[in-house]
Amino acid sequence: MNKKIFYIYLFIPIISNTIFAQVGLGTKGVINYPGILTSEQNNIRFDPGFGYGFFIRHDVYSAADWNLDFRYSAVVSKHSAKLPRSGDTNYKFSDFSVDFIVEFNALKIKGLYSGLALNFMSAVSSNRYISDYSDETLYPSILFGYSYNWAEGFDFFAEFIAGFGSTKAGPEKIPITGPALHLGLTMYISE
């Protein structure tokens, strides 16, 4: 069921023919801390981790004071958690998201934006003492960012993302709620 909802959100812009302006490709580095909260029974918490990602971004609607963009991202990050009876366990998070971004053109500081995202994440554990856990989950996140146009067709950006969810890739449900910092570059390939 979660996959169906994710794919519906993914293909709505394509099916409804909303791509009309700028299209950008990009890459980003990720610092992610999904362990703000702990699990209820064993106080399991994910440690901070690093990762990388790629994305496609395009304009959907432009107005005098704001723009609406869609972004489709794929991010991979590595984390660890201390599980009961097995100790330190490595995790790989594969996160695919559809981001709805609003850029604010009327502000004095150009380049500020915020948005909402729908994330589909796969978490897989790796520990030689126990069998691997895996789970797929759908969760929302919010984002705030700043984009700086340093050359024609190229933007640097920094954004803060807060995700809210949990995964069953463990002996119990483990929260994946917490902040992430994304630093990256967008290259616009069409006008």
What's the pLDDT score for residue 64?
A: 78
Rounded Cα distance between 102 and 129, Å, is 46
Rounded Cα distance between 129 and 121, Å, is 25
State the Cα angle at 100 between 48 and 123, rounded to 5°. 35
What's the pLDDT score for residue 59?
A: 85
What's the pLDDT score for residue 12?
A: 60
What's the pLDDT score for residue 17?
A: 43
What's the pLDDT score for residue 13?
A: 56
Residue-level pLDDT, tens digit, the chain, 191 residues: 566 666 666 666 554 544 456 889 999 999 999 999 999 999 999 999 999 999 999 888 888 788 899 999 999 999 999 998 888 999 999 999 999 999 987 777 788 999 999 999 999 998 877 778 999 999 999 999 999 988 888 999 999 999 999 999 999 999 999 999 999 999 988 76
- 2-190 CATH fold: Porin (2.40.160)
What's the pLDDT score for residue 142?
A: 97
Single-letter amino acid code for the residue at 40: E
Rounded Cα distance between 143 and 163, Å, is 9
What's the pLDDT score for residue 180?
A: 96
Rounded Cα distance between 23 and 35, Å, is 34
Q: Which pair of structure tokens corresponds to residue 171?
A: 């002996």
- Residue among 42, 69, 54, 73 at smallest CA distance from 163: 73
What's the pLDDT score for residue 181?
A: 97
CB 158 within 8 A of CB 150: no
